[in-house]
Amino acid sequence: MKAPLRILVDECTSAKSLVGMLRVAGFDVVTSAETLGIGASDAEIFAYAQSDQRVILTHNCADFKALHEEHPGHYGLLLIYEDRDSRDLTYRQIVAAVHRVDQEPENPIGGCAIVLNHLR
């Protein structure tokens, strides 16, 4: 049996209901606030995720894409764009998109930045 996807949810994405839904869905989820405290920098969150072998789930796409480009050997980014239009994702759609990523046979997320909005 495949181990659950290990996810670090960024502070800007860590709504209790979303985190709870991800945990109920079987993912190994921690939040940046739980692990680093409130107000940790993006660089601190990125470094912690790498040291704990976790994928980062975030709405802060621009800043984490910059870190992705600077440090290509990371465990992966799951990006959620939010423009307040019809392409925005509900929490249920986010969990479903994470499931789709996790179901890939070789789980090729390492080193990738995956836009979950494209997986609805």
Beta-bridge mates of residue 108: none
Residue 63 has pLDDT above 70, yes or no: yes
C-alpha 29/C-alpha 8 separation (Å) is 6
> With contact defined as beta carbons under 8 Å apart, do 110 and 87 qualify?
no
Report the predicted TM-score, pTM, of the whole model to 2 decimal places: 0.92
Structural domain spans, the chain: 6-119
> With contact defined as beta carbons under 8 Å apart, do 49 and 78 qualify?
no
Please provide residue 89's backbone torsions phi and psi, each rounded to the nearest 5 degrees: -105, 140
97 CB-near residues (< 8 Å, 6+ apart): 78, 89, 116, 117, 119, 120
Closest C-alpha among 55, 47, 45 to residue 11: 45
69-81: average pLDDT: 92
C-alpha 56/C-alpha 43 separation (Å) is 12
41-64: average pLDDT: 95
Residue 26 has pLDDT above 90, yes or no: yes
Q: What is the pLDDT of residue 105?
A: 72
CATH 3.40.50 fits 6-119, yes or no: yes
C-alpha 37/C-alpha 40 separation (Å) is 6
- The angle subtended at Cα 36 by Cα 16 and Cα 51, nearest 5°, is 110
